[in-house]
Amino acid sequence: MLILECPYCGVQCEETELHADGEAHLKRFGPGSSDDEFEGYLFRRENPKGVHFERWRHVNGCGKYFHAARCTATLEVFGTYSAQTLEPPKDLQDKISAKRPGWTWRELKGEG
Amino acid sequence: MSTRLSSGGRLLNKGKQISFAFNGKQFQGFEGDTLASALLANDQMLVGRSFKYHRPRGIVASGAEEPNALVGLGMGSKFEPNQRATTTELFDGLNCTSQNHWPSLEFDIGAINNKMARFLPAGFYYKTFMAPRAAWKHLFEPIVRQSAGLGAAPKDRDADRYEHYYAFFDVVVIGGGVAGLQSALAAAKAGAKVLLMEQTAHWGGRAPVDGGSIDGAPVDDFIAAALAELKGMENVTLRTRMMGSGVYDHGYMLGYERLTDHTPDMAGPRHRLWRIRAKQIVTATGAIERPLSFAGNDIPGVMLAGALRDYVVNYGVSAGDRVVVVTNNDDAYRTALALKEHGLEVPVLLDARPEGAGALADEARAAGIRVENGKAIAKVQGGKRVTGVAICNQSGEGAVLEEIAADAVAMSGGWSPVVHLWSHCGGKLTWDDAQAHFRPDNSRPPLGADGQGFVKVAGAANGEFGLNAIMADATAVGIAAAEAAGITAATKLAAPAAESAAEANPAAVWLMPQGAGPALRMKAFLDYQNDVKVSDVMLAAQEGYESVEHTKRYTTLGMATDQGKLSNINGLATLAHSLNVDIPQVGTTTFRPPYTPISLGAIAGEARDEIFQPLRRTPIHDWHEEQGAFFEPVGHWRRPYCFPRKGETHAQAVSREINQTREALGLLDASTLGKIIVKGPDAGKFLDMLYTNMMSTLKPGKCRYGLMCNENGFLVDDGVVARIDEDTFLCHTTTGGADRIHGHMEDWLQCEWWDWKVYTANVTEEYAQIAVVGPKAREVLEKLGGMDVSKEGLKFMEWADGELAGIPVRAYRISFSGELSYEIAVPASLGRALWDKLLEAGAEFNVMPYGTEALHVMRAEKGFIMIGDETDGTVIPQDLNMQWAISKKKEDFLGKRAQMRTHMADPNRWKLVGLETLDGSVLPDGAYVPAGGTNANGQRNTQGRVTSTYHSPTLGKGIAMALVHNGPDRMGEVLEIPGTDGKTYKARICDPVFYDKDGEKQNV
Amino acid sequence: MSEALLQSALNGAHSDGFVRVEELGVQGMITLRGDFASAGFAAAVEKVTGLALPAQRKISIGENATVAWMSPDELLVLVDYASVDATVAALTEGLAGEHALVANVSDARAFFRLSGDDGAVRDVMAKVAPVDFSPEAFGPGDIRRTRLAQVAGAFWSPEPGVMQVICFRSVAQYAFDLLRISSETGGEVGHLG
Amino acid sequence: MKRYSAFAIAREAARYHTGWERAWASPKPKKKYDVIIVGAGGHGLATAYYLGKNFGITNVAVLEKGWLGGGNTGRNTTIIRSNYLQDPSAAIYEKARSLYETMSQDLNYNVMFSPRGVIMLAQTEHEVRGYQRTAHANALQGVKTEFISPQKVKELVPIINLDGPRYPVLGGLWQERGGTARHDAVAWGYARACSQMGMDIIQKCEVTGVRNEGGKVVGVETNQGPIDCDKLGMVVAGHAGVLAEKAGFRLPIESLALQALVSEPIKPCMDVVVMANTVHGYMSQSDKGEMVIGGGTDGFNNYTQRGSYHHIEETVRALVETFPMVSRLKMLRQWGGIVDMTGDRSPILSKAPIDGIFVNCGWGTGGFKAIPGSGWAMAELMAKGHSPLAEDFGLNRFTEGRFIDESVAAGVAH
């Protein structure tokens, strides 16, 4: 039963107030993209046993989507932040690198 | 025999006698008794039968760990199977029955399994019952099922109710013994907001029974003082009869509060499940005594030494006049002393250790108790109760040295910390060789949201024994918990000085005697309820089931209703011994919630009957109910399926509703349709992405039907979009789509196109919406008066704001039936009023409300698709020949790229057509159209399927829509369609528009 | 003429357990979305309601209007039902030129009032919402959007011993039954009270 | 190895069961195998078994990170059915179901397949139509199912509440030869049979890397050293994604927690398996008497084998509504497993982007019932390069948009 802080309304949300919505920072591919790019965008999601960036909606609350950085193996939450970003804030990246030595934010992925 | 003593009974109110019944026999007990103590007081040694061999079972413990004393409690709608007698408080009129026997507890036919035990070792069923093949289901399985199963199934609907409660604390302390009290005090004094819970009705735990002193005074004094102090603190909540049931991620935990189990006639909920968020959890859950593994250790009268002591001291009940004590540790000496003190005989105390008991041994000897070191029980004698004990050397193979008459045996195999709650969420354990137990590894706690530990352990649960060590640990842990919860203590509570007898270390004794042969091992029980013996675990190891999980599953060790509280450590030690490895190498099985079983009623909470789930009602719902509408659930809504009149079948009602609507006037409560405002300078651009159609070109005042696909290309919703003004659109969705589509819009606006200037608002429930349908629709609206609804004044696919009968409305001239039709939106609070006025004004046209089925039939007659019927999440607009609704001009819309993939662009996809049966009958719902031959897997090939099928009262025959391979090119072809009813239907492929192809009816 | 015909979701249903639960009848409510950082937006709100923009998760209760913070770009304005249309018009006019959305949602909601001993009222709420209802965590001036058991809802406490609760109209009966059952005599918790 | 039988038990009883042999050997890994299967769960062991039985390939190692059968095989609610809507699903699940019928005899290990029947309740008009569609499809697929009336449902399940205030039972899809089996026994029986054929089952052997040369697999790195192979089968369910990353490719898989629970045991009161998808709950009664209850999956990626509690609550309230008598039963134990979900919620049985590697994963919440069919098809795929049963479950379907979507007939729960 996770607790995630909604960065928009500051509530320490209990999981039942939230809806999980999969990987964050997906790059959309539309008409003009290759089959492989499009498949990667829709289906080949990150599924690490470790640090994961994901989308959540504060559905029983302010209704906003936000992003969370969370460990899928320990459920530790490194932070939550605005969904209107292309990558996690630098200070959050640094915090995670400090806690998980060797971890770095990926290149914004083109495919796979 | 077991009996009530004249002394002892600190928890009893001997002034209040209580009557209860066991297997129909009336017994007497006292207020304060548990069912178990009261049964013992009435010499009811035999209380049940074991699971597999149906062996006689007696009470073995005094608390939550009891595996044997399970009863069916209560009657009828308050009956509950498998209630633990040791944790059931006695109340007046309590009625219970023993379990798992036939015809009676004393004479159980199932006990034949016991005679056969030698042929029924662990896992025997995996090796036999295989021939003939049908025999498992028809012969063997029924026998196995009938002989298993413990308690009877409840028959009636539960008369009680249950509820939940959310609570938030800095520190939750679980366990109200001296450690829990002290931890709570320490945390509370530091300023933390504290909850202290205790699963029984009493504070203080075991310490008052075990003796010792705190700050120089008896333990009871400390308990009273601590309680008084805690009660006086505003930041402390105290709860008894509340068990810490489970610890979950991020500081979530369940507290299972039993409110009326001890007084079933009291008003209010039976159980309240507390859903707690704790910054820190302290488990002060004590320790559980282990049995010793010797032959006959399961005979009624063989009990845990601590339990025997509890019954004497707390309840003034003796399990027998002559009690042999057998132990590998010092604590059992306390039992011997307590028995002696209350005038009972202890013929011998057998200490498996060759030497080296502490101060308590001296005390025992001084009290005249015969203490034999290095000795063990070779065998307990007796059947349904203990009659004697055969003594041997622990170091040998069991040669009997002496036989002693006894009517009870007190055994102690040492104490295991209760680590369940620590472990539920990933806390790790460490093996303590000196104490011969697993205790929490405080360096590897369960981790919370911040990556830090959120559970701490205090006292005996932490592997601390001896009162002084316990008090010191509890104090430190309480302070540390407050600190970890972010509270810096101004003053730190000092640990009180406590004294208890110094104890020598226990010896690791996993089998008694240590060289016991197969015959004895087959009688040495590990799991009393599931009948798992030392020999079974050894067999599992021998056969390669070496993982502790394999052994557990192969033997069923620890899988009974006590979840191995007594058996697990002994079992895994036996396994380690068999594999010749150290115990830590074997490890433990996983601890899972709940600590002890909790009622499913409590888990469900208040959600039953009328509030099982929210039932959504339209503003006109009451009218439908008054009219006796037949409802169908649509999501959480309930919509009238039809309005049957007296004597009418549903089909007749639907036909009547359709005929009257097509001929004159029908009304539909369409309030459930989703309505979403989309507003902003970029609203048009946004809707162009969302819909396959072009929406930005829609003129204010006009409506357009639109299709929505998901990014994967499939149709997900449809509906009419009205442009309100330059910046504002109102999008209608399907009934099920409102919240989903609103979320979908917000998703794209917030996460992809966040720089677009668009706001949305879901106003679905602001309006009641009434479809006024049929040739008389205009007339009835004109009768109400207030706005221009003429052919020219409000053209097809236009909308207008106005008034009808003085009620403010927005009228959309749209049609889902093919008739002249208006959908009137009205503020929900006026929805019923408008409905009533329409009925009144429509009376002269014989107006008829119609339900969802008539709606479905009429749209099918007209060839309109229905999301959920023609679509199922695998259908794209192209399949439905709706290319007209897919803009060619747009570079992009959601689903466009997906629809370019090879399988989506495949010309062989099945396409929408109409079907009409040759004989007028109705095609079966969901029927498939076979093609010739079979596929590589032997399945018949198919070439299409029916998506919706109805009897059309308008056409007087069966009509259907279907997706058919190359369908539109095969007009007139007759298909053969087998039903599951054995019939084969013949249907001709036709245009899906069956009714008014040119739209003459709706454009009047 | 339409006012006489108005029907709130439950026609003023009420129950008396250890806390009183009542449905309050029709209430004017307006959803307002816009850019809080825009001076024009704040000015328009203040001009029409007489109230400044509330801070995050706060509710401002004025003489003729109440304004609640619903999200970083959404407010809920409460006025008399009869003055909703005028308020909507005034807001719309005041926000001309702003990118904003004003929508009358009065009829989309049901409105409840719980009253009684302050702790008891809080205990009833704590049975249905995953929220810390201790007075130090949730007090006058706070508003919280969350769920009430299985439906979305929001609530605030205008004064000790009173909780005002809103939910969607279609689930009014569910919300009422939920609160009624949760406040039945015998179900007292005695934790926050 | 000696055969199991009643006579064998009698013989052993005479000598206190001291003569029983190990059910499977515990060898050290060899340097090289023709085939390595990673994952000694049901699917992996079944793959190995049918490689040997059907294709004579017995130089096989099955590597297991933990203990065999310790993943989802030993954590599921043991429901077996094949009443699927789409042809490819119906084919593989029916193959599996038919193999379950004879599995005990085939393996000489009683897996207690109990064809007690499975009902999927229809509680909305939409569900009625969905299940009628499935019944029609099944008839053409050779899967014996039937849409039955509420009265028949009541006869089969006397404890059911037909007229719940919310969702009256309108009928049900009935598969008479669906049922349950003893989950651990399936893994143990296959393991014993594989061991008997000379295959090596190596437990506590974690694969840490996958080696390929020129785009062709040559072996794996493990905590017990490198092991070479010609072909590699990845059959690791929830950890499919993690293993694929080690091999250098990514799968369309997300790993989620799925939960289940059991009640305390009671005397027999429900003889069939009941699934109620509208309210999200399903339940059967084990031979021990426990009510075995399946819950829902979390919405977020999770490897902890602990799910979120509220799913338990949702499931239990659905069951209390559907079977009011369970209210006074008690939850004995709850647990979780990690399931591997694909984009269309159907499995993957496919060649991987690296030559010689084959993947079998994505069974999501419904893998147990498929074990023998999955192993059968996977063995054929690995031995011959193609298998009609696996044909439609290839990875290419995600590129082509050719999904196998079972949720369309409301059959989402397994």
Q: Which residues of B touch D20 (CB under 8 A)?
A: 539, 542-543
Question: Is domain B12-156 in CATH 3.30.70.260, yes or no?
Answer: no
Q: Mark whether D279 and D228 lie in a shared domain.
A: no
- Provide the pLDDT for residue B457: 98
Show residues of chain B in contact with C88, CB under 8 Å: none
Q: How confident is the model at residue D411 (pLDDT cuts 50, 70, 90)?
A: very low
Confidence of residue D344 (pLDDT cuts 50, 70, 90): very high
**Three-class HEC string of B673-699:** CEEEEEECCCHHHHHHHHECCCCCCCC
**Residue D3 within a domain:** no
Average pLDDT over residues D124-150: 96
Which CATH architecture does the domain made up of B162-287+417-499 adopt? 3-Layer(bba) Sandwich (3.50)
Mean pLDDT for the stretch of residues D330-346:
95
Q: How far apart are CA B9 and CA B193, in angstroms?
A: 35
- How is chain A split into domains, by residue range? 3-99
Is the pTM for the entire model greater than 0.95? yes
| Number of alpha helices (DSSP H) and beta strands (DSSP E) in chain C | 4, 11
Are residues D31 and D135 located together in one domain of the fold?
Answer: no
Q: pLDDT tens-digit profile of B372-393? A: 999 999 999 999 999 999 999 9
In terms of domains, do D225 and D128 share one? no
d(CA C170, CA C168) in angstroms, rounded, equals: 6
Q: What is the pLDDT of residue D236?
A: 96
- Same structural domain for residues D329 and D199? no
Per-residue pLDDT, averaged over D108-137, amounts to: 96
Of the three residues D342, D366, D381, the one that is the final residue of a domain is: D342
Using CB atoms and an 8 Å cut-off, which of residues 93-152 of chain C contact chain B?
Answer: 99-101, 103-109, 123, 126-127, 129-134, 137, 149-151
Q: Which residues of chain C have pLDDT under 50?
A: 1
Do residues D362 and D240 lie in contact, with contact meaning Cβ atoms separated by under 8 Å? yes
Last residue of a domain, one of D342, D369, D391: D342
Nearest residue in chain C measured CA to CA from A8: C72
- The reply to whether D239 and D279 lie within a common domain is no
Q: What is the DSSP letter of D293?
A: E
Task: Over range D228-236, report the average pLDDT.
Answer: 98
Give the count of beta carbons closer than 10 Å to the beta carbon of residue B972: 7
Number of domains in chain D: 2
CATH 3.30.70.1520 in chain C is located at 28-107
From the candidate CATH numbers 3.50.50.60, 3.30.43.10, 3.30.1360.120, 1.10.150.130, the one assigned to the domain spanning B613-896: 3.30.1360.120
Q: CB of B178 within 8 A of CB of B221?
A: no
Q: B809-868: per-residue pLDDT in tens? A: 999 999 999 999 999 999 999 999 999 999 999 999 999 999 999 999 999 999 999 999
CA pair distance B113, B650, nearest whole angstrom: 57
Contacts of A31 in chain B (CB under 8 A): 891-892, 896-897, 900
Domain identity same for D289 and D245: no
Asked if B610 lies within 8 A of C177 by C-beta distance, the reply is: yes
Chain A interface with D: residues with Cβ < 8 Å? 1-2, 15-16, 19-22, 35-36, 39, 42-45, 47-49, 52, 54, 70, 72-75, 112
Q: What is the pLDDT of residue B145?
A: 86
Contact residues on chain B for D159, CB-CB shorter than 8 A: 153
Is B248 part of the contact surface with chain A (CB cutoff 8 Å)? Answer: yes
Residue B921 tokens, joined: 């009958």
**Chain A interface includes B751 (CB < 8 A):** yes
Burial of B898 (0-12, 13-18, 19+ CB in 10 A): buried
pLDDT score for B902: 96
3-state secondary structure at position D174: strand
Report CB contact under 8 Å: B901, A31. no
Split at pLDDT 50, 70, 90, the class of A107 is: low
Structure confidence by residue, pLDDT tens digits, D350-368: 999 999 999 999 999 989 9
Pick the CATH number of B905-1004 from 2.40.30.110, 3.40.50.970, 3.40.50.150, 3.20.20.70: 2.40.30.110
Q: CB count, 10 Å around CB of D98? A: 16
Q: Which residue has the tokens 């006695």?
A: B90
Distance between CA atoms of B418 and B284, rounded to whole angstroms? 9
- Is the pLDDT at D166 greater than 50? The verdict is yes
Domain range for D140:
118-178+255-342
Query: Are residues D272 and D158 part of one domain?
Result: yes
Residue A106 buriedness (CB in 10 A; 0-12 / 13-18 / 19+): exposed
Percent of chain B beyond pLDDT 70?
100
Q: Do C57 and A10 touch (CB under 8 A)?
A: yes
Residues of chain B with pLDDT under 50: none
Site from C75, C147, C148, C166 to mutate, A interface, most A CB atoms within 10 angstroms: C147
Asked if residues C181 and C149 have their Cβ atoms less than 8 Å apart, the reply is no
Q: What angle do CA B34, B39, B40 make, to 5 degrees?
A: 100
CATH class of C2-25+108-182: alpha beta
- Report the distance separating Cα D360 and Cα B386, nearest Å: 57
SS3 label, residue B226 = helix
Question: So what's the pLDDT on residue B235?
Answer: 97
DSSP β-ladder status, B162-174 and B194-197:
parallel
Query: In 3D, which of C144, A4, B449 has the Cα closest to residue A24?
Result: A4
- Residue C115's CB: how many other CB atoms inside 10 A? 16
Among residues D302, D317, D342, the one where a domain terminates is D342
| B351: Cα separation from own chain's centroid | 45
Distance from CA of C144 to the nearest CA of A (A): 8
Tokens of D241: 């994604």
How does residue A111 score in pLDDT terms, banded at 50, 70 and 90?
very low
How far is residue B724 CA from its own chain's centroid? 48
Q: Which chain B residues touch A55 with a CB distance below 8 Å?
A: 751
* Average pLDDT across chain D, whole number: 95
Residues of B in contact with D87 (CB under 8 A): 935, 937, 939, 942
Regarding whether D229 and D358 lie in a shared domain, the answer is yes
**What are the residue ranges of CATH 3.30.1360.120 in chain C?**
2-25+108-182
Q: How many other CB atoms are there within 10 angstroms of residue B752's CB atom? A: 16
Q: What is the largest CA-CA distance in chain A?
A: 42
Q: For residue B282, which amino acid is it?
A: V
DSSP state of D33: E
Res B331: pLDDT: 97
Is residue D99 in a domain?
yes
Q: Are D359 and D336 part of one and the same domain?
A: no
Among residues 448-487 of chain B, which lie with CB inside 8 Å of chain A?
Answer: 448-451
Domain pair B12-156 / B162-287+417-499, same fold:
no
Q: How far apart are CA B291 and CA B377, in angstroms?
A: 13
Domain boundaries, chain B: 12-156, 162-287+417-499, 291-413, 518-581, 613-896, 905-1004
Quickly name the fold that domain B518-581 has.
Arc Repressor Mutant, subunit A (1.10.10)
Chain A residues near residue C130 by CB distance under 8 angstroms: 14, 16-17
The CATH number of A3-99 is which of 3.30.830.10, 3.40.50.300, 3.30.70.1290, 3.30.2270.10? Answer: 3.30.2270.10
Q: Which pair of structure tokens corresponds to residue D325?
A: 């008598």
Q: So what's the pLDDT on residue B412?
A: 98
C28-107 CATH choice from 3.40.1410.10, 3.30.420.140, 3.30.70.1520, 1.20.1290.10: 3.30.70.1520
CA distance B158 to B741: 39
- Distance to chain A for C74, nearest Cα, Å: 9
**Residue A110 pLDDT class (50, 70, 90 cuts):** very low
Q: How confident is the model at residue D413 (pLDDT cuts 50, 70, 90)?
A: very low
- B614·C151 Cβ contact <8 A: yes
CA distance B500 to B471: 11
Nearest beta carbon to residue A43 from set D239, D252, D255:
D252
Dmax over CA atoms of chain B, in Å, equals 114
